[in-house]
Amino acid sequence: MAEITLQDIIKPENQVYVKTKLMTDKNLSYCPGCGHGTAHRLIMEVVEELGQENDAIGIAPVGCSVLAYEFMNVDMQEAAHGRAPALATAVKRLWPNKLVFSYQGDGDLAAIGTAETIHACNRGEQIVMVFINNGIYGMTGGQMAPTTLPGMKTSTSPYGRDLQSMGNPLKMTELVAQLPGTYYVTRQAVHTPSAVRKAKRCIRKAFQNQLDGKPGVSFIEIVSNCNSGWKMEPVASNIWMEENMFPYYELGDLKVDGQLVEKK
Amino acid sequence: MTEEIIIAGFGGQGVLSMGKILAYSGIMQDQEVSWFPAYGPEMRGGTANVTVIVSDERISSPTLTAYDTAVILNQQSMDKFEEAVKPGGVLIYDPNGISHHPTRKDIKIYKIEGAKIAAQMGNTKIFNMVVLGGYLQVKPIVKLENVIRGLKKSLHERYHKLIPLNEDAITMGMKNVVEVK
Amino acid sequence: MGELRLMKGNEALAEAAIRAGVDGYFGYPITPQSEVIEYLMAEKPFERTGMVVLQAESEVASINMLYGGGGTGKKVMTSSSSPGISLMQEGLSYMAGAEIPCVVANVVRGGPGLGDIQPAQSDYFQSVKGGGHGDYRLPVLAPASVQEMSDFVPLSFDLAFKYRTPVLIVSDGLIGQMMEKVELFDTIPRLTDEEVIARYPWATNGKPKGKERRILTSLDLDPHKLEKHNFHLQDKYKQIREEEVRYEMIDCDDADYIIIAYGSSARISQKTLQLAREEGIKVGLLRPITLWPFPKQPIDDLVNKGVKGFLSVEMSAGQMVEDIRLTVRERTKVEHFGRYGGVIHSPEEVLEALKNKIIGD
Ligand SMILES: Cc1ncc(C[n+]2csc(CCOP(=O)(O)OP(=O)(O)O)c2C)c(N)n1
Ligand code: SF4
């Protein structure tokens, strides 16, 4: 049998997977094993599949995904730290027929941007908000986030998060689900193929809500890893996430079609 | 005496801590020192470098464009810093992973097989100490006893048991640095 | 002699906060100064001196924690870098109005906007001209070494309480990230609650029996009263201008030309001085230590002595040079040189600029 060369493998007819053209060819700036890249790809695949390439406008945060505009191949704006929902609000109100989304980390969305998050959700802005919760500040070198778990070590909680002096992990998603302005609220993950498929369905639903003119925010939390900040190998970080993050941040829908989901 | 040094290599090679130990050694013998790293995204998986100055006088600029000595531990740093050595200055490098060897004729060039020696000694983590030994052989700007005192100051107490190993590594480096003619 | 250590500028600032008897540090992470809060959290000052350390949810919260804490007469401090300091301007304006002492350290990075994380000096205007709304000024100290990152903490608190004003320590990524030898001063015990009450009768720490309660506010809806309050603030600023100017002069006695530079630019320019003297060019360095109040008198004296020109060297597009021009008033040449956006100029570039812009034609 003739040997298969790299050139053979990458021939179009042999490809079983093609990257969406809505992801640029830029090398991702994320650490190997980080969930940010997967989340980017899912959003862009959905935008492409919905045929919204020319109508989507994204807002990038300040955090590791500050350069999301380098990778997502649609019109993008870069917000100040925490303010993405305010930018998205105005973009959507001034261009009501465009598909508007924000993308933020937990420091960005749940610490410095709490007010913007709560009020965009409370006003019921017709936008998609994607929230990457990795329990830490990745970009600045692993400091404590509002979502950092009890006892978890970070560079500003070097002896573990002490709830008494540092407060409790903030479940922003549960909080915004309570607001009448949110229409769809869900918490997903992207660390396994099945989780990815599920997360993609949710992202699609969120964007579809906006296209269908459904009232209110579609809010998707993605519980993700920060293997660098957690100081773990990528695989170990995913196991740690399943064992520690998921029990605290339970996956699943919190609100669908404007109705809170009953806990079983 | 003023010695202006750039130490450059990959992140994770111990470039910054080697500079720190050198700076601490200077303090131990009452000299002025400065240590300024390239910081920020440049570090993430990429190159790392630090400018160290040891002097008998108050130090002026902590960042420089020309150096008395360059300690070079990867090819990118060689490309960047060979030209930055002052005429008559010193370039010390580990040939491991170097494809384009230095060619300047107006400086002194030394080789130290740091990676190889550290591997032979059974601990790749002491690589930077072997290189430091090589440097100190060529430029004995600080006394070995002050380096050991510097090590004690810069290492956390729970690592103090590793000091003899580090001392051996420095000695091995001193013995094995060779001038390239 | 105090304890000698090799420390980063950011770490020295943090250690100095503990030793200066600071009661509370409130901050939010941002590069290139996150080491300050990281150092404090690791050092557990709450065990060493009882100092409170809290990671706030934002810089807006941090500065308002200072407003509240400083208003009770306690020593409070925060640190940040340019984008975070911009967010604090509202709080600083309120505190200037309500006359609340505090210390704010800015480890400046490249801007505008998110900019980058490399060293810059482009926050000069924001620091020395007030920064927020209203007629106010804040004393601004510019450390040029790790030693000064430590020494300026207690000095800043002295000024903050003497004049009841926020005080800024403005360094940059170079000073913050660099390690140098630093001699640490001995710990100054924190004031006891009784001492705070006795020393600061204006502070709101509970209405004293038989005395008037205290109100801390920047609001006065009666314009005449507000004008009077502004007169009072201006008198205070006048006194600061007269009494608190600090600067350093290096090799100025025989100099034909003067470089004016602060912080890390002053360090770089010191090397330029050496290079210039090797070529027989007599250059001196005037280093403002207080950026506000600005050292006008020494500049005036140098003009009167007949120096042939001033080069303002800043890691910015030229901000301090405006204050130099206001002082020199066209009596001799004043030019600016500096790299910006996070690029650090080299001593050789400064010398070139001196030759081209000042000595030149
Ligand atoms: C006003 C302001 N304050 C602080 C910062 C520094 N900063 C940049 S990103 C970040 C937090 C990032 O964490 P997160 O949002 O959780 O995103 P991740 O990096 O983990 O993806 C901070 C504090 C900033 N850029 N601007
Ligand atoms: S630091 Fe953490 S969040 Fe940032 S890219 Fe790396 S793994 Fe991802």
- Name all domains of chain A by residue range, CATH numbers in brackets: 31-258 (3.40.50.970)
The pLDDT score that the predictor gives to residue A17 is: 84
Please tell me the residue having the least CA distance from ligand 1 atom 10: A63
Q: Kindly state the tokens that stand for C288.
A: 């403002």
The pLDDT score that the predictor gives to residue A187 is: 98
Contacts of C173 in chain B (CB under 8 A): 39
Q: Kindly state the tokens that stand for B25.
A: 């050694």
Q: Do residues C165 and C25 share a domain? A: yes
Nearest to C268 among B40, B63, B153 (CB): B63
Confidence check: pLDDT of A130 > 80: yes
Domain closes at, from C127, C162, C194? C194
**Closest-lying ligand 1 atom to the alpha carbon of residue A229:** 20
Condensed to tens digits (0 to 9), the pLDDT of residues C9-42 reads 999 999 999 999 999 999 999 999 999 999 999 9
Return d(Cα A27, Cα B110) in angstroms, integer: 37
Q: What is the mean pLDDT of residues A7-19?
A: 83
The answer to whether A84 faces chain C, any CB pair under 8 Å, is no
Number of structural domains, chain C?
2
Which residue has better confidence, A11 or B147?
Answer: B147
Q: Kindly state the tokens that stand for C84.
A: 């975070």
Domain closes at, from C194, C220, C238? C194
The answer to whether C28 faces chain A, any CB pair under 8 Å, is yes
Distance from CA of C121 to the nearest CA of A (A): 21
Q: Do residues C151 and C258 share a domain? A: no
Residue C67 lies in a domain: yes
Q: Give the number of beta-carbon pairs within 8 Å between A and B.
A: 3
Q: Do residues C178 and C314 share a domain? A: no
Confidence check: pLDDT of A15 > 90: no
Residue C23 lies in a domain: yes
**Computed from CA positions of residues A9, A12, A15, A19, in that sequence, does the dihedral angle turn out positive or negative?**
positive
**Computed from CA positions of residues B112, B113, B117, B119, in that sequence, does the dihedral angle turn out positive or negative?**
positive
Residue C128 lies in a domain: yes
> Which SS3 state, helix, strand or coil, does residue C335 take?
strand
> Which SS3 state, helix, strand or coil, does residue B95 take?
coil
Q: Do residues C25 and C172 share a domain? A: yes
Question: Burial code of C309-343, b = ≥16 C-beta within 10 A, e = fewer?
Answer: bbbbbbbbebbbbebbbebbeeebbbbbbbbbebe
Q: What is the CA radius of gyration of chain C?
A: 21
Condensed to tens digits (0 to 9), the pLDDT of residues A172-225 reads 999 999 999 999 999 999 999 999 999 999 999 999 999 999 999 999 999 999
Q: Do residues C171 and C294 share a domain? A: no
Question: Burial code of A201-231, b = ≥16 C-beta within 10 A, e = fewer?
Answer: ebbbbbbebbeeebebbbbbbbbbbbbbbbe
Name the phi and psi angles at C326, rounded to 5.
-60, -30
Q: What is the 3-state secondary structure (H, E, C) of chain A?
A: CCCCCHHHHCCHHHCCCCCCCCECCCCCCCCCCCCHHHHHHHHHHHHHHCCCCCCEEEEECCCHHHHHHHHECCEEEECCCCCHHHHHHHHHHHCCCCEEEEEEEHHHHHHHCHHHHHHHHHHCCCCEEEEEECCEECCCCCEECCCCCCCCCECCECCCCCHHHHCCCCCHHHHHHCCCCEEEEEEEECCCHHHHHHHHHHHHHHHHHHHCCCCCEEEEEEECCCHHHHCCCHHHHHHHHHHHHHHHCCCEEEEECCEECCCC
Residue B42: name the closest of C268, C173, C11 by CA: C173
The answer to whether A126 touches A133, Cβ cutoff 8 Å, is no
Is C273 within 8 Å of B27 when comparing Cβ atoms?
Answer: no
Residue A255: name the closest of A214, A220, A211, A213 by CA: A220
Task: Tell me which DSSP letter residue C361 carries.
Answer: -
| 4-43 in chain B: CB under 8 A from chain C | 20, 23-24, 27, 32-37, 39-41
Q: Kindly state the tokens that stand for A120.
A: 């965009």
> Which SS3 state, helix, strand or coil, does residue C82 take?
helix
Residue C309 lies in a domain: yes
Mutating to test ligand 1, I would choose from C30, C87, C114, C126 the residue with most ligand atoms within 8 A of its C-beta, which is C30
Write down how long chain B is: 181
Return d(Cα A154, Cα C37) in angstroms, integer: 12
Q: Do residues C185 and C87 share a domain? A: yes
Please tell me the residue having the least CA distance from ligand 2 atom 1: A138
Confidence check: pLDDT of B47 > 90: no
The pLDDT score that the predictor gives to residue A5 is: 85
The answer to whether A31 faces chain B, any CB pair under 8 Å, is yes
The answer to whether C264 touches C175, Cβ cutoff 8 Å, is yes
Question: Burial code of A176-189, b = ≥16 C-beta within 10 A, e = fewer?
Answer: bbebebbbbbbbbb
Q: Do residues C275 and C184 share a domain? A: no
The answer to whether C116 faces chain A, any CB pair under 8 Å, is no
Q: What single-letter amino acid sits at B87?
A: P
The pLDDT score that the predictor gives to residue B41 is: 61
Condensed to tens digits (0 to 9), the pLDDT of residues A61-94 reads 999 999 999 999 999 999 999 999 999 999 999 9
Q: Along chain C (361 residues), what's the average pLDDT of each consecutive run of 10 residues?
A: 92 98 98 97 97 98 98 98 98 98 98 96 98 98 98 98 98 97 97 97 95 95 97 98 98 97 98 96 98 98 97 98 98 97 96 96 59
Is B154 within 8 Å of C6 when comparing Cβ atoms?
Answer: yes
Residue C102: name the closest of C47, C169, C46, C57 by CA: C169
Q: What is the mean pLDDT of residues A27-55?
A: 96
The answer to whether A153 faces chain C, any CB pair under 8 Å, is no
Return d(Cα A155, Cα C270) in angstroms, integer: 36
Q: Do residues C35 and C174 share a domain? A: yes
Q: Kindly state the tokens that stand for C239.
A: 């006194």
Count Cα atoms within 13 angstroms, Cβ side, for A171: 16
Q: What domains lie within chain B, and their CATH numbers?
A: 2-180 (3.40.920.10)
The answer to whether C315 touches C290, Cβ cutoff 8 Å, is no
Q: Do residues C155 and C273 share a domain? A: no
Which ipTM value was assigned to this complex?
A: 0.92
Nearest to B27 among C4, C32, C268 (CB): C4
The pLDDT score that the predictor gives to residue C361 is: 59
Return d(Cα B68, Cα A138) in angstroms, integer: 38
> Which SS3 state, helix, strand or coil, does residue B101 take?
coil
Nearest to A156 among C41, C57, C113 (CB): C41
Element (H, E) at C111: none
Distance from CA of B44 to the nearest CA of A (A): 9
What is the arrangement of strands in the sheet containing C257-260, beginning at the earlier edge strand?
C247-250, C283-288, C257-260, C309-313, C333-337
Return d(Cα C276, Cα C116) in angstroms, integer: 32
The answer to whether C52 touches C218, Cβ cutoff 8 Å, is no
Q: Do residues C324 and C187 share a domain? A: no
Q: How many CB atoms lie within 10 A of CB A115?
A: 15
Mutating to test ligand 2, I would choose from A147, A226, A235, A238 the residue with most ligand atoms within 8 A of its C-beta, which is A226
Condensed to tens digits (0 to 9), the pLDDT of residues A91-109 reads 999 999 999 999 999 999 9
Q: Do residues C54 and C167 share a domain? A: yes
Contacts of A29 in chain B (CB under 8 A): 41
Residue C212 lies in a domain: no
Residue C315 sits in a domain whose CATH number is 3.40.50.920
Residue C83 lies in a domain: yes
The pLDDT score that the predictor gives to residue A16 is: 83
Q: How many CB atoms lie within 10 A of CB C278?
A: 9
The pLDDT score that the predictor gives to residue C205 is: 95
Note down the domain range covering C342: 248-359
Q: Do residues C316 and C187 share a domain? A: no
Confidence check: pLDDT of B43 > 60: no
> Distance between alpha carbon B27 and the CA centroid of its chain, in Å?
16
> Which SS3 state, helix, strand or coil, does residue C198 take?
helix
Q: What is the mean pLDDT of residues B62-75?
A: 96
Residue C216 lies in a domain: no
Q: Give the number of beta-carbon pairs within 8 Å between A and C.
A: 50
Is C55 within 8 Å of A143 when comparing Cβ atoms?
Answer: yes
Residue C258 lies in a domain: yes
Return d(Cα B64, Cα B81) in angstroms, integer: 11
